Amino acid sequence: MLTHDKLYSLEQYARVRPEFRARVMAHKKNRQVRLGEHVTLLFEDALTMQYQVQEMLRLERMFEPEPIQEELDVYNPLIPDGHNWKATMMIEYSDVAERQRKLAELIGIEDRVWVQVDGCERVHAIADEDLERATADKTSAVHFLRFELSAEMIQSLQRGAGLGMGVDHPNYQTANNAIPAVVRTALLHDLHGE
């Protein structure tokens, strides 16, 4: 969980931003999973959320405790707590017209994203707990997902069990059963509560 004392002041952040940003971008590379051609999951943690908060404080020039706490209250729920993974899901189509058409076809996709530890049942995402992002006409291009894992799943992963992820929406079916070792290692750290 992020607290005021874990954040840089605006002045400090201005000095360290280039190297901090480079470190966060390198960190994020090991936390991304592509699901087919058009869906990417970015698994969040305390460092990725600190970066988001620092950037918001910088952009809005916030230095008063109350608005800083409001930002922390928004972003802290996106940090895994040791028995779950939290991810930002992005639906990506470069052509605007195609994106509009596909978002209309993919209503409910956020509830059809899954992770699976070998030997265990699939776990479907709990989506958009903060606010509704879909309408009756289309889904959003960005969703926030939470995957709750059982103690058995966590122990299996720690013993080396395989990990797969995918989407089982009627209009978008894909599975990735070859999660790179660096991503798997990063996600295991989330399950230690580190």
The predicted structure's pLDDT at residue 143: 94
The predicted structure's pLDDT at residue 45: 96
The predicted structure's pLDDT at residue 22: 97
The predicted structure's pLDDT at residue 132: 66
Q: How far is CA 140 from CA 37, 136, 180, in A?
A: 17, 11, 27
Domain boundaries, the chain: 4-190
**Low-confidence residues of the chain, pLDDT below 50?**
194
Instruction: Spell out the residues 6+ positions from residue 112 whose beta carbon is closer than 8 angstroms to its own.
Output: 124, 167, 168, 169, 172
The predicted structure's pLDDT at residue 176: 94
Q: Rounded to whole angstroms, how far apart are CA atoms 77 and 82?
A: 13
The predicted structure's pLDDT at residue 1: 87
Supply the DSSP symbol for 117.
E
